[in-house]
């Protein structure tokens, strides 16, 4: 495919969706895992969150390596490896073995999720880059929804292990289509072909840039609140609204579709010159209100669903704003992989600690605990938003078609 074409952008997006499905595919079969491996909800929470460990320790360095070897090669190789990981999970005979499979599976958040936006950043500019990054940012809701749908048919049955077979088969198919990914020269992301290639020590230079750090922290706080809610809402609804976990999971999965459109809509507003901080403030206000109502146990189930269907698009749109800002806060476009690696590394820390915390609070049934987490997550995320600076406010994201880009810093 032609580098920067919408076909290549959508293909990269699909790879990312398959990765995000790993986050949620254990949620509908939580009960089966507890029964089969004699574990607790907290134990399943560890299995969900352990997938983030690889990114915690290696995402930024891994992103730098991807900048060197090429995103296309990284995506194809990782897809093949993930087939093996899902087979290992299928044959797991203990919780420990499943945890090992999940730990290995976490490599996808370096080899694919870090490589994907790096490929987009290297092959797009201007308006298309903002739109593409906003679209790509919705891979998490789309993937989490896919993960729920992968497991729902097997929830409550003895065939729960087939969740891993289906997911592995999708990665095998994705690897076969890898040849369609655009091959980008290592110098393609650099402003001048005369610039020297980065040395290995350059891969950690991203740690010295405050802009990517702020964006990474803001994103991690928001994603943690969104992930925590997705982790407990099926069981929370089952407990307080007396519906099955499978039904709740299906509703949650359906609710992820509006998140995708919300993310695309946020990207559109940015290309029209609306300031990122203005968009984020509006999203945060609605998101906080929806989050408070979502956990209210006295709310009728129909109203809780409405709150959920408002909450999900808000988180999707907010992440889209943050990801659209990534190319603007990264000084050197040749370090797109390293910048996304930093985002992934900080996010992985949040993703690792979030599911056990939320699942530990679930048995207590105190809705105010979840409300406090919603408030803290959104407000702190807003405080770290890169556009939220002292002094003169930064200008809107300026775009000049697909031929170039002008951004205010």
pLDDT value, residue 334: 59
pLDDT band of 187, cuts 50, 70, 90? very low
Range of the domain at 234: 6-181+204-391
pLDDT value, residue 189: 43
First-to-final CA distance of the chain: 33
pLDDT value, residue 278: 87
Question: Which residues are bridge partners to 402 per DSSP?
Answer: 400
Tally of domains within the chain: 1
pLDDT value, residue 203: 56
Residue 110 pLDDT > 60, yes or no? yes
More confident residue, 331 or 319: 319
In a domain, 409, yes or no: no
CB 271 within 8 A of CB 133: no
The values of phi and psi at residue 300, to 5°, are -60, 150
Pairing mode, if any, of strands 404-406 and 398-400? antiparallel
In a domain, 408, yes or no: no
Domain of residue 357, CATH code: 1.20.1250.20
pLDDT value, residue 251: 78
In a domain, 196, yes or no: no
Residue 174 pLDDT > 70, yes or no? yes
Average pLDDT over residues 164-182: 93
Long-range CB contacts (within 8 A, 24+) of 353-357: 353/49, 353/224, 354/49, 354/224, 354/227, 354/228, 354/231, 355/45, 355/46, 355/48, 355/49, 355/227, 355/228, 355/231, 356/42, 356/45, 356/46, 356/49, 357/228
In a domain, 189, yes or no: no
Q: Could you give the C-alpha distances from 66 to 9, 58, 114, 149, in angstroms and in order?
A: 18, 12, 8, 31
Residue 395 pLDDT > 60, yes or no? no
Residues 346-392 have pLDDT tens digits of 888 887 888 888 888 887 878 888 889 999 999 999 888 885 433 33
Q: Could you give the C-alpha distances from 294 to 259, 269, 312, 318, 373, in angstroms and in order?
A: 16, 27, 11, 18, 13
In a domain, 47, yes or no: yes
pLDDT value, residue 169: 97
Q: Residue written as tokens 């999720």?
A: 113
Residues 10-24 have pLDDT tens digits of 999 999 999 999 988
CB 76 within 8 A of CB 181: yes
pLDDT value, residue 87: 97
Average pLDDT over residues 30-59: 84
Residue 405 pLDDT > 90, yes or no? no
Q: Whole-angstrom Cα distance, residue 352 to residue 357?
A: 10
Percent of residues, the chain, with pLDDT higher than 70: 86
Residues 247-274 have pLDDT tens digits of 777 777 777 788 888 888 988 888 888 8
pLDDT band of 332, cuts 50, 70, 90? low
pLDDT band of 283, cuts 50, 70, 90? very high
In a domain, 1, yes or no: no
Percent of residues, the chain, with pLDDT higher than 90: 25
Residue 311 pLDDT > 80, yes or no? yes
Helix extents (H) in 50-193: 53-69, 71-90, 95-105, 108-111, 115-123, 126-137, 139-151, 162-176
Q: Whole-angstrom Cα distance, residue 389 to residue 211?
A: 11
Residue 189 is encoded by which pair of tokens?
């992301």
In a domain, 358, yes or no: yes
Residues in Cβ contact with 401 at an 8 Å cutoff, skipping those fewer than 6 apart = 126, 127
In a domain, 190, yes or no: no
């Amino acid at each position: 495919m032609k580098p920067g074409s919408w076909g290549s952008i959508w293909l990269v997006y699909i790879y990312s969706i398959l990765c995000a499905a790993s986050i949620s595919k254990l949620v509908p079969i939580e009960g089966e895992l507890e029964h089969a491996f004699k574990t607790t909800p907290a134990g399943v929470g560890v299995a969900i969150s352990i997938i983030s460990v690889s990114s915690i320790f290696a995402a930024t360095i891994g992103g730098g390596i991807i900048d060197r070897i090429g995103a296309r090669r990284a995506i194809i190789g990782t897809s093949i490896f993930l087939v093996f990981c899902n087979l290992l999970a299928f044959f797991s005979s203990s919780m420990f073995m499943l945890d090992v499979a999940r730990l290995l599976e976490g490599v996808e958040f370096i080899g694919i999720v870090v490589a994907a936006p790096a490929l987009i950043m290297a092959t797009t500019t201007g308006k298309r880059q903002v739109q593409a990054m906003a679209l790509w940012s919705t891979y998490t809701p789309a993937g989490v929804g896919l993960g729920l749908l992968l497991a729902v048919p097997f929830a409550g049955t003895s065939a729960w292990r087939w969740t891993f077979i289906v997911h592995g088969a999708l990665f095998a198919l994705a690897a076969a289509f890898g040849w369609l990914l655009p091959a980008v020269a290592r110098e393609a992301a650099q402003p001048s072909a005369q610039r020297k290639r980065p040395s290995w020590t350059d891969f950690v230079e991203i740690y010295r840039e405050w802009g990517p750090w702020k964006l990474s922290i803001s994103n991690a706080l928001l994603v943690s609140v969104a992930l925590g809610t997705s982790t407990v809402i099926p069981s929370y609804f089952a407990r307080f609204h007396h519906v099955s976990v499978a039904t709740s999971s299906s509703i949650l999965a359906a609710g992820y579709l509006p998140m995708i459109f919300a993310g695309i809509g946020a990207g559109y507003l940015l290309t029209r010159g609306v300031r990122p901080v203005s968009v984020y403030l509006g999203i945060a206000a609605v998101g906080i209100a929806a989050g408070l109502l979502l956990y209210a146990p006295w709310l009728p189930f129909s109203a809780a669903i409405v709150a959920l269907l408002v909450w999900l698009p808000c988180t999707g749109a907010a992440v889209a704003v943050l990801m659209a800002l990534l190319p603007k806060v990264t000084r050197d476009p040749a370090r797109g992989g390293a910048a996304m690696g930093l985002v992934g590394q900080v996010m992985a820390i949040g993703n690792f600690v979030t599911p056990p915390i939320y699942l530990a609070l679930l048995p207590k049934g105190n809705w105010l605990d979840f409300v406090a987490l919603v408030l803290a997550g959104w407000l702190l995320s807003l405080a770290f938003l890169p556009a939220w600076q002292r002094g003169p406010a930064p200008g809107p994201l300026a775009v000049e078609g697909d031929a170039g880009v002008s951004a205010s810093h």
